[in-house]
Amino acid sequence: MDRSTAEKRAEELRNLLNKANKAYYVDALPFISDKAFDEALAELSELEIQFNLNTENSPTQRVGGEPSSNFPNVEHPQQMLSLDNTYNEDELRDFDRRVTSILGHSNYSYAVELKFDGASIRLRYENGNFVLGATRGDGSKGDDITPNLKTVRDIPLSVNEDSPDIFEIRGEAYMEKEAFIRLNENREEQGLQPFANPRNSTAGSLKMQDPREVARRPIRFFAFDLLIDERDENRTHGQKMGLLKNMGFPVCEHFNVCSSIDEVINTINSWDDLRSTLPYETDGVVVKVNEERYYEELGSTSKFPRWAIAYKFEAEQAVTILESITLQVGRLGKITPVAELKPVQLAGTTVKRASLHNEDEILRKDIRPGDSVVVEKAGEIIPQVVQVVNADRENRGEPFKMPENCPACGEKLEKFEDEVDWRCVNPQCPPQVRERLAHFASRETMDIEGLGEAVVEQLLNEGLIKTYADLYGLEQNQLTPLERMAEKSAQNLIDAIARSKEQPLDRIIFALGIRFVGKTVSKDLASHFKTMENLMSADFDELVSINSIGPKIADSVIAFFGNEKNKILVECLEKAGLNFTMEETENLSLKLKDKKFVLTGTLPTMSRNEAKELIELHGGSTTSSVSKNTDFLLAGDSPGSKYDKAAKLNIPILSEGDLKAMIEG
């Protein structure tokens, strides 16, 4: 394929992917499968790399770029005010009376829309292209998180030609309930603290330094306001919502224009009943004067506009009996107490169980079996026990006490310093083994195709394996008797297990399931220690000398390899022939030895990854941000703020040609 054909095909693919994104996220009418979408995206990415066809607003930018060490502040051209809150009908009527009093008439209507419990953000578009995304911050200025927001598929990277030359969008980034639950389950499996609610999860995700990690978070977006320089005395908020949808922005379908405060209250009451059925979390309703021409006259306080107010829903609660307290064992041994409840209807679902979090929380609330308890859904999602109703009743049960031994394997439980959770540290504990096997075989670790949950369950039940190290001793004739496991599929699994021995050291470290050690930390450990043997014998000081390793991770690594059963597991993996040494890449030269480069912009003939590899092959290294320790900035087209910072620090700025000349010279 020549460049001209590649350009044409790339444009076709971009149009297809942009239409598919709009159909899925805005119109809720998908027309291609996920598989077809992924294949088109992969083809486009390959073309852009091969023929250097990268564009700022290509759908391939959704995967995220290089990490950033900080977020520059940006001033908001129009202040992002928060809203005053109201909690009952009387306060809403007071708001209506204040509006009428200031205007001197009642010739206005109200726009009523759901209030999302997420993170408010601002988007700026120039000449149809998304150029800036920022957090609300203090209302006057926020953080520039443009690279992170480019990964959110709901946010258009470009809009149609009929849009204004320059405009801004106000909206809410959020997570859907099911996606939030899955994210928390994944965090707990990795030994990380779960997020308290979708709002915290969304806000935290948007402030991550690595856009590639943000791209993996299930962040969604709703637009709720459009800011245009051209004034229109007759424009209403309702009209702007229609404009937003026509421009390709997702807007909430629950939006009403009401002619009176009575109609507003009726709408709120109907949405209060509806909210438990929605896929996302809403904590109330926003009521705005619909006619924008009155905004200036109504004005604002130092914090809130006088033309809008938020009505907050009450958390739905129910009273039921706590029948017993059971214990769950997580993948990394965390013991979670669970309230087994007499079934009760709450927020549209039947609640039978609720997390009690940890022993300290149970003792603080003095929760005991047999108590009548108040249950509510935290953030409308996770059932939790709020309080005991009849704490002074006679013949009440004994206070809860965590058992000394694991309920699953009988091993003695441990509580680490500065932690509230009890843990089972036995790597052969059955519930942990099941979850550890799934993690070990997953795509990001050993990538053992065909080793799904059902197969793992059968292997354990039949006593064919007890740990992930046992996988490497399996034979085909042991697998064929299993359900849905014919000779061919059995051989395919044996082959997949054999191929996994070739995985690099960093993947093996990640697969071991060491607490707090994720994919990035695993790479840093492999890069520093080079061999599993070196890592296993590392002391605290050597571990914390690595930039990404803090005291908590260092203690976890030492504790893992200090456990005799874990040592035996690792030895079994080594005997099975896994790759315990990091493969070194030979330098082509040392012409760039000890030189630190920062890359920015689009290079003429190389992708950034290709340039990074070239620098490393000649002894240099790359970092993500410009500092006084940077030796060179390698800059292409549209270099951005890194160029300005390098110039300010008098750091030499190189073109692609300059870099090649340094290497050739």
Query: What is the Cα–Cα distance from 7 to 4, expressed in whole angstroms?
Result: 5
Under a CB-based contact definition with an 8 Å cutoff, are residues 23 and 29 in contact? yes
Residues with Cβ < 8 Å from 123, sequence gap 6 or more? 130, 132, 133, 149, 155, 168, 169, 170, 171
Q: What angle do CA 293, 294, 300 make, to 5 degrees?
A: 125
Whose tokens are 């599929």? That residue is 489
Copy the structure tokens of residue 223: 């637009």
User: What is the secondary structure of 311-332 as a DSSP string?
Assistant: EEPPPPEEEEEEEEEEEEE-TT
Q: What share of the chain is helix, strand, coil (3-state, %, to 5)?
A: 40, 20, 40
Q: How far apart are CA 315 and CA 377, in angstroms?
A: 7
Residue-by-residue DSSP string for 143-167: EB-HHHHTT-TTS-SB--TTS-SEE
Packed helices 430-441 and 453-461: angle between N→C axes, nearest 10 degrees = 140
**Do residues 588 and 563 lie in contact, with contact meaning Cβ atoms separated by under 8 Å?**
no
Alpha helices, DSSP H, located in 311-429: 359-365
Structure tokens at 243: 């404009």
d(CA 269, CA 258): 14
> Nearest 5 degrees, angle CA 577-CA 583-CA 589?
160
Catalytic positions, written as ranges: 115
Please measure the distance between the N-terminal and C-terminal CA atoms of the chain and give it in whole angstroms.
33
Three-state secondary structure of 25-61: HCCCCCCCCHHHHHHHHHHHHHHHHHCCCCCCCCHHH
The two structure tokens encoding residue 262: 């009575």
> What tokens were used for 128?
């149809």
User: For residue 178, what are the contacts with CB-CB under 8 A and spacing of at least 6?
Assistant: 279
- Assess contact for 139 and 67: CB atoms under 8 A: no
Tell me the C-alpha distance between 33 and 163, whole Å: 30
Rounded to the nearest 5 degrees, what angle is found at the Cα of 585, between the Cα atoms of 495 and 629? 130
- CA–CA dist 482, 494 (Å, integer): 14
Number of DSSP helices (H) and strands (E) in the chain, helices first: 24, 22
Residue 599: other Cβ atoms inside 10 A: 24
Distance between CA atoms of residues 83 and 323, nearest Å: 42
